[in-house]
């Protein structure tokens, strides 16, 4: 939700800022802007819409500067217009800032500042902050002191980069409930919402904590708390290589990330079973504490919530304790029965999803053991974790989650098997069998991806429908929901997932030749025959019938208008493989419709607002 960057040094400031924003585009693309400090004069360039519009705006201009700040916006307060685009400038034109987050008390601040004579030019919450810091600057004449004085008035979430024309070599960065990292270079320093913006530029970073202010100049970086007291922070070495944010020849990040999935599963399995035992070893999970739980709650949003739903299903089977799966945004407003005997699992690819963080925080207050699954060990959610399960999927650039979902499923299977081993809720023989089944998954997934051309060919039959229903039962209901979400978010086809048995309770009224139905099938399972009956019901209403099933399915061929098959696997693990054709289908439909696959409209990768 918005990305911010800052730079001070001898490099080409505008190019560095624009390059940084390019790598943060997954955080928002409603507008973009930069402010450059050219020897005591602040120049601002901004443009509504995608970053390309800002590139066009600055093209061919000579832009000398010793420092600057930049922003890419996901609109919360105010439309995606140039006036609402960041950076925002103070009334005296001397102080500029960029902001990620929401200033919750902006209305009262605005009234107060308007009474003090300040004029507002935008509808944003952010503009209150820029005038506030100007007011404080006028009292003390120092940017860092003005920031220390100003943050006391602010409520909500904010990461800022702030600069003043009198100090062209300085940026003050602030973090409170929104991520911010400082990159340490030689005679140059960087600030960014996330590491991809500075990957390849610096080796060392400092991830700011909430309540910290960094005063960044070309020569050094000093960190203070909100009272202005200096804090000692040791830099860490950056763990990413620039290659992770390249498309490696694929037309879109999404297709590249889909193809990375078998390798991710293989590595996770290798790591977890490295000791040769039958029980997975997950070093950052406190197995003793987690296995003692009498019930489990899993909290997540979106695609992560679908991974949670699969886990809910298998955990109850394997651990024989109640498991509830709750959307984080709902959990926050419920009175759940969470207590010290509950294991609460928070799942978040980004680790920055505000709903999930708030829910996990709330659960922690009840004394529950908190286990976090995230792809970003440097993210905000980690600070609430008693146990950690890193997804190790590598940076996911495409806004639509694919490889992180597969990594979530794999880690949840491993967790379930580990807990079952500790609780002795599954016989040793069963654990051994499940382990052997899991080991076959990566090569079977590779077989599906190797045949992706077949799926591409099917797209012609589906791409002209504007709506679609996905159905499944049991463990693959989550697969159907995830498949529908993927199609919907990147192609804008109105795709919805339903439990197949629910069709007759309402959605069946929608069926006719204009409403294709896609069924996710698991031959050999106890729900298979019921699924086939539900598909017959859809066919009888003239729906175009598509299916995803195992290659040993003998029944489906006669019924379906379009059938995609994958190698057969154990039912428990089928979501891992049945999901692949659905991801590819969504991808190829969106690509065929000419959609911006990696950056679907209105979405952002990290949803840092509630």
**The dihedral of CA 129, 131, 135, 137: what is its sign?**
positive
* Comparison of 190 and 413: residue with beta carbon closer to ligand F6R: 413
Candidates 134-142, 166-174, 300-308, 429-437: pick the segment binding ligand F6R (CB under 6 A). Answer: 300-308
> How far is the C-alpha of 253 from the C-alpha of 59, rounded, in Å?
26
Active site residue 281: no
- Using the rule CB under 6 A, is 390 a contact of ligand F6R? no
Size of the site for ligand F6R (CB under 6 A): 14
Among 85, 143, 191, 401, binds ligand F6R (CB under 6 A): 401
* Comparison of 88 and 403: residue with beta carbon closer to ligand F6R: 403
Instruction: Residue 574: name the closest of 431, 392, 389, 438 by CA.
Output: 438
> How far is the C-alpha of 582 from the C-alpha of 77, rounded, in Å?
35
Among 66, 84, 177, 304, binds ligand F6R (CB under 6 A): 304
- For ligand F6R, the nearest residue by Cβ is 302
Q: How far is the CB of 448 from ligand F6R (least distance, A)?
A: 19
C-alpha angle 575-580-586 in degrees, rounded to nearest 5: 120
> How far is the C-alpha of 193 from the C-alpha of 198, rounded, in Å?
10
Active site residue 605: yes
* Comparison of 110 and 605: residue with beta carbon closer to ligand F6R: 605
- Using the rule CB under 6 A, is 194 a contact of ligand F6R? no
- Per CB under 6 A, contacts with ligand F6R among 470-529 are 485, 489
Exactly one of 2, 161, 411, 458 is catalytic; name it: 2
Q: How far is the CB of 157 from ligand F6R (least distance, A)?
A: 15
For the CA atoms of the chain, what is the radius of gyration?
A: 26
Cβ-based burial of 83 (10 A; exposed 0-12, middle 13-18, buried ≥19): middle
Instruction: Residue 173: name the closest of 124, 221, 219 by CA.
Output: 221
- Using the rule CB under 6 A, is 400 a contact of ligand F6R? yes
Among 177, 303, 338, 479, binds ligand F6R (CB under 6 A): 303
Exactly one of 256, 403, 486, 605 is catalytic; name it: 605
- Look up tokens 């997954």; give the residue: 26
Q: How far is the CB of 54 from ligand F6R (least distance, A)?
A: 25
Q: How far is the CB of 603 from ligand F6R (least distance, A)?
A: 8
Q: How far is the CB of 271 from ligand F6R (least distance, A)?
A: 21
Candidates 120-128, 227-235, 302-310, 386-394: pick the segment binding ligand F6R (CB under 6 A). Answer: 302-310
Query: Which pair of structure tokens corresponds to residue 99?
Result: 């902001």
- Per CB under 6 A, contacts with ligand F6R among 2-61 are none
Strand partners, 518: 470, 546
- Using the rule CB under 6 A, is 380 a contact of ligand F6R? no
- Per CB under 6 A, contacts with ligand F6R among 338-377 are 348-350, 353, 356
* Comparison of 472 and 485: residue with beta carbon closer to ligand F6R: 485
Q: Where are the beta strands (DSSP E) in 75-220?
A: 88-89, 95-103, 156-164, 170-176, 181-184, 188-192, 204-207, 212-217
> How far is the C-alpha of 421 from the C-alpha of 423, rounded, in Å?
6
Cα–chain center distance at 128: 28
Among 150, 168, 302, 474, binds ligand F6R (CB under 6 A): 302
* Comparison of 421 and 497: residue with beta carbon closer to ligand F6R: 497
Farthest-apart Cα atoms in the chain, separation: 80
- Using the rule CB under 6 A, is 261 a contact of ligand F6R? no
Q: How far is the CB of 416 from ligand F6R (least distance, A)?
A: 19
Instruction: Residue 513: name the closest of 474, 485, 542 by CA.
Output: 542
Cα–chain center distance at 145: 35
Annotate 547-591 with three-state secondary structure: EEEECCCCCHHHCCCEEEEECCCCHHHHHHHHHHHHHHHHHHHHH
* Comparison of 126 and 304: residue with beta carbon closer to ligand F6R: 304
* Comparison of 332 and 531: residue with beta carbon closer to ligand F6R: 332
List contacts with ligand F6R (CB under 6 A): 301-304, 348-350, 353, 356, 400-401, 485, 489, 607
Q: Which residues are catalytic?
A: 2, 605
């Amino acid at each position: 939700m918005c990305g911010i960057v800052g730079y001070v040094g001898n490099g080409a400031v505008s190019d560095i800022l624009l390059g940084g924003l390019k790598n943060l585009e997954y955080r928002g693309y409603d507008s973009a802007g930069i402010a450059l400090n050219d020897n005591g004069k602040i120049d601002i360039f901004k443009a509504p819409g995608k970053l390309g519009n800002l590139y066009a705006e600055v093209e061919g201009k000579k832009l000398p500067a010793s420092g600057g700040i930049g922003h890419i916006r996901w609109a919360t307060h105010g439309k995606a217009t140039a006036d609402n685009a960041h950076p925002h400038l103070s009334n005296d034109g001397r102080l500029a800032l960029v902001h990620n987050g929401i200033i919750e008390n902006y209305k009262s601040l605005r009234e107060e500042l308007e009474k003090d004579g300040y004029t507002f030019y935008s509808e944003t919450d952010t503009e209150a902050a820029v005038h506030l810091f100007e007011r404080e600057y006028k009292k003390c004449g120092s940017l860092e002191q003005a920031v220390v004085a100003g943050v006391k008035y602010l409520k909500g979430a904010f990461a800022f980069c702030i600069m003043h024309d009198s100090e062209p070599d300085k940026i003050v960065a602030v973090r409170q409930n929104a991520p911010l990292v400082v990159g340490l270079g030689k005679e140059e320093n960087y600030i960014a919402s996330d590491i991809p913006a500075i990957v390849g530029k610096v080796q060392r970073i400092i991830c700011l904590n909430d309540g910290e202010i960094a005063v960044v100049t070309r020569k050094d970086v000093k960190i203070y708390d909100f009272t202005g007291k200096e804090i000692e922070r040791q830099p860490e070495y950056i763990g990413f290589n620039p290659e992770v944010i390249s498309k490696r020849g694929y037309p879109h990040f999404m297709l590249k990330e889909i193809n990375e999935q078998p390798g991710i599963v293989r590595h996770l399995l290798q790591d977890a079973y490295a000791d040769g035992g039958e029980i997975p070893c997950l070093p950052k999970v406190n197995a003793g504490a987690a296995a003692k739980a009498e019930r489990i709650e899993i909290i997540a949003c979106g695609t992560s919530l679908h991974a949670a739903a699969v886990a809910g299903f298998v955990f109850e089977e394997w651990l024989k304790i109640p498991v509830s799966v709750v959307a984080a945004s709902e959990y926050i407003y419920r009175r759940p029965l969470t207590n010290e005997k509950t294991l609460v699992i928070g799942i978040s690819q980004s680790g920055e999803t505000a709903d999930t963080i708030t829910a996990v925080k709330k659960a922690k207050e009840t004394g529950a053991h908190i286990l976090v699954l995230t792809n970003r060990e440097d993210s905000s959610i980690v600070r609430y974790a008693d146990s950690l399960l890193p997804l190790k999927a590598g940076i996911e650039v495409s806004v639509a989650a694919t490889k992180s979902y597969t990594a979530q499923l794999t880690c949840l299977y491993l967790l379930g098997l580990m807990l079952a081993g500790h609780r002795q809720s599954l016989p040793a023989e069963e654990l051994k069998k499940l382990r052997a089944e899991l080991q076959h998954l990566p090569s079977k997934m590779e077989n599906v991806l190797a045949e992706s051309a077949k799926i591409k060919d099917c797209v012609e039959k589906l791409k002209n429908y504007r709506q679609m229903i996905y159905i499944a039962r049991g463990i693959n209901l989550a697969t159907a929901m995830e498949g529908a979400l993927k199609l919907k978010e990147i192609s804008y086809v109105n795709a919805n997932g339903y439990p197949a048995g629910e069709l007759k309770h309402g959605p069946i009224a929608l069926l006719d030749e204009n409403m294709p139905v896609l069924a996710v099938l698991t031959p050999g399972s106890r729900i298979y025959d019921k699924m086939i009956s539900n598909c017959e019901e859809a066919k009888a209403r003239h729906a175009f019938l598509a299916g995803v099933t195992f290659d040993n399915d003998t029944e489906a061929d006669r019924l379906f208008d379009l059938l995609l098959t994958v190698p057969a696997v154990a039912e428990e693990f089928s979501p891992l493989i049945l999901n692949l054709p659905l991801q590819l289908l969504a991808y190829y439909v969106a690509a065929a419709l000419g959609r911006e696959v990696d950056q679907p409209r209105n979405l952002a990768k990290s949803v840092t607002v509630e």
